A and B are shown apart, each in its own frame.
Chain A
Amino acid sequence: MIAAVLPDRLPWWIAGPALGLLVVGFFLVVNQPLGATGAYVETARTVRRVPGAVTWRAWYFVGIALGGLAGVSLQGIGVDPRAGYEVLTGSGSGEFGLSLPVAAVVVFVGAVVMGYGARMAGGCTSGHGICGTAQRSPASWAAMMSFMATAVATTAVINAIG
């Protein structure tokens, strides 16, 4: 058994400022935003040995996963193959009852659109949504308002279908 060191869910007023301090700290060390999209791009370039690949972004990529594993372990949940996907695969009220292969296709297609959009916009929820807005970048504020609006609208459509 893993002991629960962290609460079941860290409240937003602790997690939010903690995230903000990580963003500031990262700027103070490497002078770069703590964005995840760039980590995917540079990790892919590092693995393919593209000249000029930013190798340390791959270390950051791995770090996110390791920190996540530590997080779920400290919560006393440990490794959980469901991880909240019951919205898609469960058969209760408000759940979609998808079979595992169908759910995999749905999240894959969603992720392709998400990746394409993130690269086009030059950032994602962490890159534009937190790091860019914190730098007071007009482009990041516009990108964030755009993705918030379409994400809420798309979810409304999903809930209407389901």
Chain B
Amino acid sequence: MAPDTTRKIAGLVFGAGFGLVLAAARLHEYATIHAMLSLEEIDVFLLMGAAIGTSLPLLLVLERARARTLVGGPLALSRSRIQRHHVVGGALFGVGWAVSGTCPAPALVMLASGAGLAAATVAGLFVGLGLRDAQTSRTTGTAPTAGDGEQREVVAAAR
């Protein structure tokens, strides 16, 4: 199978798995996120902790073992030093997350589950991301760089 086909199928399959887990844990409901951030229930914090607690040690072992990925070459984890934009951007993200009661992935699940208000959330996300991109390309003349959580240039360049 061509690597690009594998990437598309992996994207669809892992995306679907991600969406399924989010829906099954009710993370797509405004009430769940509001209760979490009101510190009324700790389930979502524990869920995130368990996700990190599962993936961090496994990735550590795989990195030490110099694992090769199926279509992306040797496993390459990225670790950036802390910069101002990580903290300021994160702070803004948190405010928006609290107000809109969902974050980018669960917003798609909300929309798929028929919640009409989620259309406003998804539209707003595209506008906000676009505003930042427009600002970055105006001030620096280049495309914005990705963080450690997003699409990375390393692999994109190696395709």
Write the residues of chain A forming the contact surface with B, with a CB cutoff of 8 angstroms.
Answer: 6-7, 9-13, 15-42, 44, 52, 54-72, 74-75, 77, 79-89, 100, 103-140, 142-156, 158-159
Contacts and interface: CB of A to CB of B under 8 A. Distances in A.
Contact of A120 (B30, B85, B126): B85
Contact of A131 (B24, B29, B149): B149
Which of B11, B22, B131, B155 has the largest number of chain A CB atoms within 10 A? Answer: B11
Given A84-B30, A121-B85, A140 B147 contact: yes
A106 to B, nearest CB: 6
Interface string B105-136: 10111111111111011111111111111001
Contacts of B96: 110-117
A139 B16 contact: no
B32 to A, nearest CB: 6
Contacts, number: 549
B24 to A, nearest CB: 4
B23 A118 contact: no
Contacts of B74: 31
B76 to A, nearest CB: 6
Q: Size range of the interface on B?
A: 35 or more
Contacts of B37: 151-152, 154-155
A57 B155 CA distance: 13
A135 B51 CA distance: 12
Interface in B84-109: 85-101, 103-105, 107-109
B87 A142 contact: yes
A149 B94 CA distance: 7
Contacts of A40: 104, 125-126, 129
19 contacts: A19-B51, A55-B4, A81-B115, A85-B31, A88-B101, A111-B96, A111-B123, A115-B124, A117-B90, A117-B94, A119-B128, A119-B132, A122-B89, A131-B148, A133-B52, A137-B79, A142-B87, A147-B94, A159-B38
